[in-house]
Chains A and B, each alone.
Chain A
């Protein structure tokens, strides 16, 4: 049993309990797993509008004359491609090319960047980033405790957001392209709205001071959004084949193996882990991330072994029942020889169950 008193609570904790959410400890936080039910909540996001309390996520600000040089050296993607108000998916690597964390980094100004990192890695990321910052003229600050965050996702998310924030903010939000971020005023308090998400639907992630999160949550609910827990957050992102740190990658998995090579700029810049990635590329990747769907009734789960004939071919990194597909499936790190269309067997608690390797994503994102 979780000792809920030892777990950290977001500023929406009482709201979740009032809504009779099923609560669970996640990365040291007391979080809602579901309210109405994972499958119903999943459908709500795909068809209408759902809101998620993601206040447990971390925020780190990078500011100073060498903010860009520092960020270029520490992350895999190219921050010089970002105009103010734009963000990109990226990652921190160790010198073996393994992933310390994945993150989204936004440019707020010529010398100011803002990174959103995974809740479970906040301390690790910040310690690493501080250590690496000493050679640069830059200030790196951990602002995680200052920000609450609500994600609003689904085909009706823009309508609900505009209705809640009003016409003036609505105009700024209307202009947001995918991955862009803008400042809005919520009853006189500044908040950041980013057109990003982890569900594969049109949506936004809103960063705000704690002082307004409870009222904003309630307003979203009264304007038609439904509360969505971490259970559906996982089934939604898995269908869209978005990786989850801890499941799909860790410090022994490179971004090339994790299937996010598109975010790695190997040509134009030097960064921590680059040498290791170049070596991996040159030697040929030994393993890679694939998506798969079950051909036999069983639910694949993280760490289940995968076989091709008698050969150990890898393991499931994330698996679940996938409500939109009405089938079970997930992602796996497999031997490079495994091809799309191949049949694989998954060891589900001692029984081999058939699955088929399919193209990613399992569900085509509608984010743009």
Chain B
């Protein structure tokens, strides 16, 4: 499986698209395949602030609940509420229409993986 080169990734299978002090976050196709059918998504409230590594929401499949972790510290500026009613669409479009939150970053994104590093990481999982 290959991953968009313009995105960065975390060990928790989130992707992040950084544009200056803004960023968009979602989860990777690999994570979605591991999860299976997604049946529920808990989103944070707009305006919430988190540190890198904090849980900002949950994603649920028929069998499991997984936490969603902030790849970088910041404040949530937008959440994809439409996605909650169209969870079947997530697996088809995880990197664009499947965005989960938009945020203002308050720290420099470090500890993020490139597409190649993420590919290597999941190959070893």
Among B36-44, B102-110, B115-123, the stretch in contact with A: B36-44
Cβ–Cβ contact A328 & B63, under 8 A: no
> Any chain A CB within 8 A of the CB of B12?
no
Known: A231-B62, A235-B62, A349-B65. A39 touches B37 (CB 8 A): yes
Interface residues of A, CB < 8 Å — how many? 17
Distance, CA A231 to CA B39, complexed state (A): 13
A34 close to B (CB within 8 Å): yes
Residues of A contacting B62 with CB < 8 Å?
38-39, 231, 235, 320-321
Whether A298 touches B40, Cβ cut-off 8 Å, given contacts A38-B62, A320-B62, is yes
Q: Give CA–CA (A320, B37) in the complex, Å.
A: 12
Interface-centre pick from B36, B58, B62 (highest chain A CB count, 10 A): B62
A218 near B: Cβ within 8 Å?
no
* B84: chain A residues within 8 A (beta carbon): 297
Q: Is the CB of A297 within 8 A of B36?
A: no
Q: How large is the interface on B (under 10, 10 to 19, 20 to 34, 35 or more residues)?
A: 10 to 19
Instruction: Give the chain B neighbours of A338 by CB distance below 8 A.
Output: none
A22 to B63, CA, bound (A): 12
Is residue A37 within 8 Å, beta carbon to beta carbon, of the partner chain? yes
A362 within 8 A of B: no
Q: Which of B17-57 contact A (CB under 8 A)?
A: 36-37, 39-40
Q: Whole-angstrom distance between the alpha carbons of A320 and B60 in the complex?
A: 10
| Min CB gap B13→A, angstroms | 17
CB pair A22 B39 closer than 8 Å: no
Write out the residue numbers on chain B whose beta carbons fall within 8 Å of the beta carbon of A221.
none
- Determine if A266 is an interface residue (Cβ-Cβ < 8 Å): no
Q: How far is the CB of B63 from chain A (nearest CB, A)?
A: 6
Residues B40 and A328 in contact, CB atoms below 8 Å apart: yes
CB of B83, distance to nearest CB on chain A (Å): 12
Query: Which residue in chain A gives the minimum CB-CB distance to B62?
Result: A38
In whole angstroms, how far apart are the Cα atoms of A299 and B66 in the complex?
13
Contact (Cβ within 8 A) A37 B40: no
CB neighbours of A39 from chain B (8 A) = 37, 62
Contacts of A320 in B (CB 8 A): 62
CB pair A231 B36 closer than 8 Å: yes
Contact of B36 among A22, A298, A349 (CB under 8 A): A22
Per the bound structure, the CA–CA distance linking A37 and B37 in Å amounts to 6
Q: In the complex, which of the residues A38, A298, A301, A349 contacts B37, with contact meaning CB atoms closer than 8 Å?
A: A38
A33 within 8 A of B: yes
B58 contact set on A, CB distance < 8 A: 349
In chain A, what residue has the closest Cβ to B37?
Answer: A39
Could you tell me if A38 and B65 are in contact, using CB atoms closer than 8 angstroms?
Answer: no
Inter-subunit contact A299/B63 (CB<8 Å): no
Complex alpha-carbon distance, A272 and B62, angstroms:
38
Q: Chain A residues with Cβ under 8 A from B40's Cβ?
A: 297-299, 321, 328
In the complex, the chain B residue whose C-beta lies closest to that of A298 is B40
Q: Give CA–CA (A40, B37) in the complex, Å.
A: 9
Cβ-defined contact, B36 with A328, below 8 A? no
**Residues 229-241 of chain A: 1 if any B CB is under 8 Å from the residue's CB, otherwise 0?**
0010001000000
CB distance from B36 to the nearest CB of A (A): 6
Closest A-chain residue to B60, C-beta based? Answer: A299
Which residue from chain B places its CB closest to the CB of A24 in the assembled complex?
B63
* Whole-angstrom distance between the Cβ of A37 and the nearest chain B Cβ: 5
Q: Which residues of A contact B65 (CB under 8 A)?
A: 299, 301, 349
Chain B residue at minimal CB-CB distance from A37: B37
Is the Cβ of A37 less than 8 Å from the Cβ of B36?
A: yes
Closest chain B residue to A235, Cβ basis: B62
| A:290-310 near B, CB below 8 Å | 297-299, 301
Residue of A nearest to B85 (CB): A297
Assuming A38-B62, A231-B63, is B39 touching A321 (CB within 8 A)? yes
Which residues of chain A are within 8 angstroms of B60 by Cβ–Cβ distance? 299
Closest chain A CB from B81 CB (angstroms): 11
Give A297 to B81 CA distance when docked, in angstroms. 12
Interface residues of B in 44-96 (CB under 8 A from A): 58, 60, 62-63, 65, 84
A-B contact pairs, 9 of them (CB 8 A): A22-B36, A33-B36, A38-B37, A38-B62, A39-B62, A40-B37, A297-B40, A297-B84, A321-B40
Task: Give the 10 A-B CB pairs with smallest separation, nearest first.
Answer: A321-B39, A38-B62, A39-B37, A299-B40, A38-B37, A299-B60, A37-B37, A231-B62, A37-B36, A299-B39
